[in-house]
Amino acid sequence: MSATVVDILGRMGRWEPDARGRLQQAAMELFVERGYERTTTADIAARAGLTERTYFRHFPDKREVLFDRTRRLDALVVEGIAAAPGDAAPLDALAVGLRAGSAMLDELGDGARARAAVIAGQGELRERELAKMSGLVATASAALLERGVAAAPALLAAEAGVAAFRVAFDRWVADPAGPALPAVLDAVLAELRGVVAPA
């Protein structure tokens, strides 16, 4: 960790705002430095200049500090689906939301890549990630139903779209010098459409 980060964290009192964000930052730093298994919630709280009790006010367990942003991802997808043009096909409406979510992750840059590496190294975290993606499918499908899409097409579009999102994210993580995540997502969605309806 840089001397600047140490200095900033050292000067932050327990009353300072954004405890949640500080805990997330501290957790990622420690997971990268020590590994997920060798980091405790007490370690995370101490690095953030907070108490372990404060940690548990924000997160129910050690895993959830890594998955907190999935709530924002879900919200962005739902907002995008709702904002899509009324005549948009189900997958096109979903793509609007997925682009918004991909832009959020792209802004996180190396932080999102570090998180992906931590998750990839732990079976329990990979299972949790899959569960969160299943939750995103359900959320997207429900949002499409709200637009009047029938149940079967809504679920198919959600399953296919979220699968494309995961493929795009994996490609983006593997190529830090490559295009931004929204552009990678657009390319993967184009591939998906080519598979579904080849020219």
The pLDDT value given to residue 113:
93
The pLDDT value given to residue 68:
86
Read off the amino acid at residue 136.
L
Residue 102 CB burial class (10 angstroms; 0-12, 13-18, ≥19): buried
d(C-alpha 8, C-alpha 135), whole Å = 36
- Joined together, the tokens standing for residue 51 give 């108490």
| Over residues 90-109, mean pLDDT | 95
Cα separation values, 91 from 125, 184, 191, Å: 28, 16, 13
Q: For 37-88, write each residue's pLDDT tens digit.
A: 999 999 999 999 999 999 999 999 999 999 988 889 999 999 999 999 999 9
- Axis-axis angle for helices 19-34, 110-120 (nearest 10): 60
User: Which are the contacts of 168, defined by CB distance < 8 A and separation ≥ 6?
Assistant: 102, 181, 184, 185, 187, 188, 189
Span between the terminal Cα atoms of the chain, in Å: 51
Q: What is the CATH number of domain 3-60?
A: 1.10.10.60
pTM listed for this prediction: 0.83
Extents of the domains making up the chain: 3-60, 69-196
Q: 């992750």: which residue's tokens?
A: 105
- pLDDT tier, 178 (very low <50, low <70, confident <90, very high otherwise): very high
40 CB neighbour count, 10 Å cutoff: 14
Q: What is the CATH number of domain 69-196?
A: 1.10.357.10
| Over residues 126-131, mean pLDDT | 94
Could you tell me if 185 and 197 are in contact, meaning their C-beta atoms sit under 8 angstroms apart? no
37-41, 110-114, 180-184: segment of lowest average pLDDT: 110-114
